[in-house]
């Protein structure tokens, strides 16, 4: 591809870089459009990336060859930047909050995932009632839809391993690709709409959030600490490296050992856990382990942007080819039902404050984009602690449920 009549050539990797920044610029402008106080925010980038994937995925492939790998690098780099930033930001208050509200986070995470799993079972019966006779095929598709509705890559991978054959794995991919789009947008809109529907005083809710955490921020600077660099990029990179190693550890879930079904925290869970620990302690001896707060905010937003672009382009390429309205409806059901049930369970049974509830729902739905939106809506980064507390529970549960849907159906 060339621009401006061939005066400025844009080819190969340069074309990918050009596209990433073009999608970001247009996406952020789209995200700023506000209707009755609701906007897409950073999810606007995801919409533009989807459209780009629908229209220009093949052109990108011509320039890069292995476009799938290139996009996966963009997506994973963004995810690591985002979740590591969230971990560092949440770390100082995370363990105190977790100690006080551990049971609530576990219960809410399980309720959200189990609700999604029951919605998936209902969708299977709907599919059977509307004429689908091949239950093996239906279970493969629905398990993919379930993983996409909760935007869970680990659940997607686990479902593909569980079905076995290449044909069934393709069906899992079909379901995942179709449901993923509403899985992202649905939770983003939910965390914006609920405060408006309830007409809450956001200042008061922020105070409730601080009170509910039960922990003041850790006191780290007990003396002059040594900074490895001005922005704290070195400790950030160290946390990411350790997190990637931890995330790569595979735990066997079957008698076949590592050749069978396994569970891992993945790079997302590994980096989140490591950054939480770094953020909690804040130092190692006299060495400062905390990146600059402004740098963390930039990394968080940059990471979210890259993640949405990588995932959006790939999703857009599959969406047009694989779209079926009934699968899309199944995905909507599996996204909406867990959020609503989780919200009312948290509000009326666990009696958790609103922002803690919404933060926990973004973690329970394993929704990275929705957390970014919620931080902007709430006006505080403290909601990240609730996300970080619920996310590991949901991550384990969603992987197991996605496999159970195949095993029992």
| Pair 123, 145: CB distance under 8 Å | yes
Residue-level pLDDT at 261: 62
Dihedral sign for Cα atoms in the order 116, 384, 96, 274: positive
How far apart, in Å, are the Cα atoms of 78 and each of 12, 71, 84, 154? 21, 11, 10, 17
Low-confidence ranges of the chain (pLDDT < 70): 1-8, 10, 154, 157, 161, 164, 166, 212-223, 253-263, 318-319, 321-322, 409
| Pair 397, 155: CB distance under 8 Å | no
How far apart, in Å, are the Cα atoms of 32 and each of 20, 43, 245, 330? 18, 10, 38, 30
Residues 6+ apart with CB under 8 A from 400: none
Residue-level pLDDT at 114: 94
- DSSP-assigned beta bridge partners for residue 2: 9
Residues 6+ apart with CB under 8 A from 159: 140, 143, 144, 146, 147, 172, 176, 402, 403, 405, 406
Burial class for 47, CB neighbours closer than 10 Å (0-12, 13-18, 19+) = buried
Residue-level pLDDT at 110: 92
Residue-level pLDDT at 81: 93
Residue-level pLDDT at 7: 55
Calculate helix-pair angle for 153-163, 266-281, nearest 10 degrees. 140
Q: Radius of gyration of the chain from Cα atoms?
A: 21
Q: How far apart are CA 385 and CA 375, in angstroms?
A: 11
Q: Where are the domains of the chain?
A: 81-299+320-407
Residue-level pLDDT at 258: 54
pTM to 2 decimal places: 0.74
How far apart, in Å, are the Cα atoms of 193 and each of 2, 188, 196, 398? 43, 9, 5, 25
SS (H, E, C) the chain: CEECCCCEECCHHHHHHHHHHHHHHHHHHHHCCCECCECCCCHHHHHHHHHHHHHHHHHHHHHHCCHHHHHHHHHHHHHHHHHHHHHHHHHHHHHHHHHHHHHHHHHHHHHHHHHHHHHHHHHHHHHHHCCCCCHHHHHHHHHHHHHHHCCCHHHHHHHHHHHCCHHHHHHHHHHHHHHHHHHHHHHHHHHHHHHHHHCCCHHHHHHHHHHHHCCCCCCCCCCCCECCCCCCHHHHHHHHHHHHHHHHCCEECCCCHHHCCEECCHHHHHHHHHHHHHHHHCEECCEECCCCHHHHHHHHHHHHHHHHHHHHHHHHHHHHHHCCHHHHHHHHHHHHHHHHHHHHHHHHHHCCCHHHHHHHHHHHCCCHHHHHHHHHHHCCCCHHHHHHHHHHHHHHHHHHHHHHHHHCC
Residue-level pLDDT at 300: 87
- DSSP-assigned beta bridge partners for residue 283: 288
| Pair 150, 338: CB distance under 8 Å | yes
């Amino acid at each position: 591809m060339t621009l401006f009549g061939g005066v400025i050539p844009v080819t190969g990797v340069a074309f990918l870089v050009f596209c990433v920044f073009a999608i970001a610029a247009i996406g952020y402008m789209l995200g700023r459009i506000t209707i009755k106080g609701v906007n897409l925010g950073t999810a606007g980038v995801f919409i533009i990336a989807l459209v780009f994937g629908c229209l220009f995925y093949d052109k990108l492939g011509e320039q890069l060859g292995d476009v799938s790998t290139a996009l996966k690098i963009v997506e994973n780099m963004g995810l690591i930047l985002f979740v590591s930033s969230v971990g560092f930001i949440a770390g100082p208050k995370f363990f105190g909050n977790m100690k006080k509200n551990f049971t609530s986070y576990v219960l809410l995470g399980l309720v959200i995932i189990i609700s999604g799993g029951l919605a998936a079972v209902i969708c299977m019966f709907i599919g059977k009632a509307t004429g689908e006779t091949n239950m093996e095929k239906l279970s493969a598709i629905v398990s993919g839809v379930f993983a996409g509705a909760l935007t869970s890559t680990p659940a997607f991978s686990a479902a593909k391993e569980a079905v076995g054959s290449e044909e069934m794995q393709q069906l899992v991919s079909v379901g995942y690709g179709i449901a993923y789009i509403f899985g992202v947008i649905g939770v983003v809109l939910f965390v914006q709409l609920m405060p408006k529907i309830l007409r809450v005083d956001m200042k008061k809710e922020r105070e409730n959030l601080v009170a509910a955490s039960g922990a003041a921020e850790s006191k780290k600077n007990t003396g002059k600490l040594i900074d490895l660099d001005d922005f704290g990029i070195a400790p950030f990179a160290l946390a990411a490296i350790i997190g990637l190693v931890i995330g790569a550890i595979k735990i066997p879930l079957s008698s076949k050992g590592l050749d069978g079904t396994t569970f891992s925290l993945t790079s997302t869970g590994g980096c989140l856990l490591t950054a939480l620990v770094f953020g909690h302690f804040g130092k190692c001896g006299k060495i400062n382990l905390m990146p600059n707060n402004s740098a963390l905010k930039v990394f968080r937003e940059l990471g979210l942007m890259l993640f949405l672009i990588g995932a959006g382009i790939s999703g857009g390429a599959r969406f047009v080819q694989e779209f079926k309205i009934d699968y899309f409806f199944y995905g909507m059901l599996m996204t909406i039902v867990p959020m609503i049930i989780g919200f009312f369970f948290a509000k009326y049974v666990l009696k958790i404050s609103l922002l803690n509830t919404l933060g926990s729902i973004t973690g329970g739905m394993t929704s990275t984009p929705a957390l970014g939106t919620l931080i902007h809506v709430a006006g505080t980064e403290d909601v990240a602690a609730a996300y970080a507390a619920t996310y590991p529970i949901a991550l384990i549960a969603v992987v197991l449920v996605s496999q159970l849907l195949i095993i029992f159906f």
